[in-house]
Structure 1
């Protein structure tokens, strides 16, 4: 599945601000009911490897995190499943002030996009891949 990222708005058919019911209606599978991986206000869609984070039990979506098989496309470029340095360099074209955290990745507060690459180390693992992408609403990390 290829999903287009629209900063602070959506990833594919999932729009930030949708209710749990709305997200479940656009996903091709039911969420796993018995997980407690990321907390109680989360849907986990196993086959899609996608987490939807909600503000509360019946709240609205404030972030979506995913890995392959979902492919994130931003401005025509794939963000995950590629070398972290390549994805980071691409995003720097749109946000030169991203926050880098070693063994985590980068977060663009300007775009509402984060790249997770825990194995990346410029000296020892420069070719490490982006393992996950998160898109989030403004204020999510406040």
Structure 2
């Protein structure tokens, strides 16, 4: 499996934020599984199972986040986070930018990168299961904030 170079604010590999599902499908191998994470999602997601890559789209159908699970190998700052023990991965992410910590995740809103391990609540040596790279504002929309900031409001 090739590495996916994470580019904060831009995307990963050949995928860039703002691309349409059709554009994403041209640069990814295989047919995606198309689904909605929740019934209220405005736009369906793509899952490229052979690559371990989830592509999430905003209500306009434009790529705004990419999540990586095994066998994907997302790399940022020299770290390949998927499969790393959670505590060292969290420290590595913190060395690259300020993070917000949860028992099972670490999020750098400034970088637009987060890591997740469902087992880390009970075992900090548990492996990182997923890495998410997201566009600015992704988490605001994810929790129900429908407002879009203009350049002067940022």
Gaps of 5+ in 1: none
Q: Which stretches in structure 2 are left out of the alignment for 5+ residues?
A: 141-154
User: Higher relative contact order at CA 8 Å, sep ≥6: structure 1 or structure 2?
Assistant: 1
**Aligned-residue offset at 1:37:** 4.3
2:79 equivalent in structure 1? 77
1:1-142 mapped onto 2 (5 Å cutoff): 1-33=2-34, 35-37=35-37, 39=41, 40-56=43-59, 59-95=61-97, 97-102=98-103, 104-121=104-121, 124-142=122-140
The answer as to whether partners of 1:64 and 1:134 remain within 8 angstroms in 2 is: yes
The one-character-per-residue Cα deviations of 1:65-107 (angstroms, maximum 9, x if unpaired) are: 1201110111222111111111111111121x311112x3111
| Equivalent-residue separation in structure 1 for 2:8 and 2:94 (angstroms) | 14
SS in structure 1 opposite 2:65? strand
Displacement of 1:9 after TM fit? 1.0
Please tell me the root mean square deviation across aligned C-alpha atoms, in Å.
1.6
Taking the aligned partners of 2:5 and 2:46, their CA distance within structure 1 comes to 20
Q: In 2 relative to 1, CA 105–73 (structure 1 residues): closer, same or farther, beyond 3 Å?
A: same
Q: Name the CA distance, whole Å, in 2 between partners of 1:126 and 1:114.
A: 16
Asked whether the equivalents of residues 77 and 96 of structure 2 are also in contact (C-alpha less than 8 Å), the reply is no
Instruction: Tell me, in whole angstroms, the C-alpha distance in 2 between the residues paired with 1:108 and 1:4.
Output: 17
Count the aligned residue pairs.
Answer: 136
Q: Give the TM-score, by structure 1 length.
A: 0.88
